[in-house]
Amino acid sequence: MRLIRGTITRTAMAATVLATGAMISMGGTANAAEAAATIHGCPSGAVCLYPGAGWNNGNPTYRFYSYDAHKIYDQFGTKRLFNNQTGGAKAYPCKGSNGTDCDRVLAAGFYRDLNITPINSIKLTR
């Protein structure tokens, strides 16, 4: 009887260790996925405009999500535009406030430091 109890106890302890290890692994994976989704304070699926030619400690001035033209106001000088969209979505800095007269495309996963003074909108497309 002792041998069986000892075997059952060891088996239960081993199962507990394995389950705990699996839970820790799953938690680590979830945190890594969440961290990978946000880059320099710009969430996955967003296009972000930063208040200078840098990442501003992960604090963008604007975050755009929907496929459309987004007006920007009172922005002058050099700013960083970062496209953190997914699925090949594109972003365009545009001189027109309604997404017209656009500059060259900014592909997903890339950023550009640009003179934002003549830019009045950012257009997001698929």
pLDDT per residue as tens digits for the range 104-122: 999 999 999 999 999 999 9
pTM given for the model: 0.71
Distance from C-alpha of 114 to C-alpha of 27, rounded to nearest angstrom: 39
- Both 102 and 120 in one domain: the answer is yes
- Both 54 and 94 in one domain: the answer is yes
SS3 content of the chain, % helix, strand, coil (to 5): 30, 30, 40
- Both 62 and 108 in one domain: the answer is yes
- Both 25 and 56 in one domain: the answer is no
Count of domains observed in the chain: 2
**For residue 100, pLDDT beyond 80:** yes
Q: What is the pLDDT of residue 36?
A: 55
- Both 50 and 33 in one domain: the answer is no
- Both 30 and 54 in one domain: the answer is no
pLDDT per residue as tens digits for the range 47-75: 999 999 999 999 999 999 999 999 999 99
- Both 71 and 32 in one domain: the answer is no
- Both 114 and 55 in one domain: the answer is yes
* Contact assessment for residue 64 and residue 93, using Cβ atoms and an 8 Å cutoff: no
**Higher local confidence (pLDDT), 14 or 64:** 64
Residue 61, Ramachandran bin (φ over 0: left; ψ between -120 and 50: alpha; else beta): alpha
**Domain enclosing residue 6, as ranges:** 1-37
* pLDDT average, residue stretch 65-87: 96
- Both 76 and 58 in one domain: the answer is yes
Q: What CATH number is associated with residue 88? A: 2.60.20
Q: What is the pLDDT of residue 23?
A: 37
* Contact assessment for residue 90 and residue 106, using Cβ atoms and an 8 Å cutoff: yes
- Both 8 and 29 in one domain: the answer is yes
- Both 54 and 85 in one domain: the answer is yes
